């Protein structure tokens, strides 16, 4: 068994953004040389998320509306009383999740139909990273 680790870095220009990172994760997988195993992809910041779903523009807008209804930016969060303004981003991350694990089969990401990996940023404007850890043979 071997493992391979790489970080992907992002600096979004807007507060919230959804970035399809599937091709970047596939490139890391190819660089690892691993043909069978698992790949873990996780956001290394508490106001960002990694998730799997369809890359469809309407769905991305639906996520934005849904999350903003559940945790609106600018609401009266206890966290914001510490001088921060990102209480909503922490909650959005909790809803969307921290990481995904994808099976590797024959050197590729073993997805179901339409599945793609996304990096979701909920408090953008600064540099953040995603860990990609590949384990297998």
pLDDT at position 105 = 98
Tell me how far apart the alpha carbons of residues 45 and 37 are, in angstroms, rounded to a whole number: 25
pLDDT at position 53 = 97
pLDDT at position 102 = 98
- Please list, in sequence order, all residues whose beta carbon lies within 8 angstroms of the beta carbon of residue 130, skipping any fewer than 6 positions away: 7, 8, 9, 10, 21, 41, 42, 43, 44, 48, 50, 119
pLDDT at position 43 = 98
Tell me how far apart the alpha carbons of residues 137 and 133 are, in angstroms, rounded to a whole number: 13
- Please list, in sequence order, all residues whose beta carbon lies within 8 angstroms of the beta carbon of residue 122, skipping any fewer than 6 positions away: 15, 16, 47, 48, 49, 67, 86, 88, 89, 92, 93
Residue numbers of the chain with a pLDDT score lower than 50: none
Class of domain 2-136: mainly beta
pLDDT at position 98 = 96
| Domain residue spans of the chain | 2-136
pLDDT at position 107 = 97
pLDDT at position 21 = 98
Read off the pTM: 0.95
pLDDT at position 68 = 97
């Amino acid at each position: 068994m071997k493992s391979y680790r790489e970080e992907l870095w992002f600096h979004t220009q807007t507060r919230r953004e959804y970035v399809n990172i599937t091709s970047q994760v596939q490139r890391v997988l190819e660089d690892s040389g691993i043909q069978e195993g698992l790949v873990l992809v996780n956001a290394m910041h508490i106001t960002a998320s990694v998730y799997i779903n369809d890359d469809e523009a309407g769905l991305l807008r639906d996520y934005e509306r849904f999350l903003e209804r559940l945790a609106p930016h600018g609401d009266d969060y206890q966290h914001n009383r510490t001088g921060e303004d990102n209480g909503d981003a922490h909650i959005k991350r909790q809803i969307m999740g921290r990481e995904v694990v994808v099976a590797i089969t024959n050197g590729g990401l073993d997805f179901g139909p339409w599945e793609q990996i996304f990096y979701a940023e909920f408090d953008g404007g600064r540099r953040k990273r995603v860990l990609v850890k590949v384990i297998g043979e």
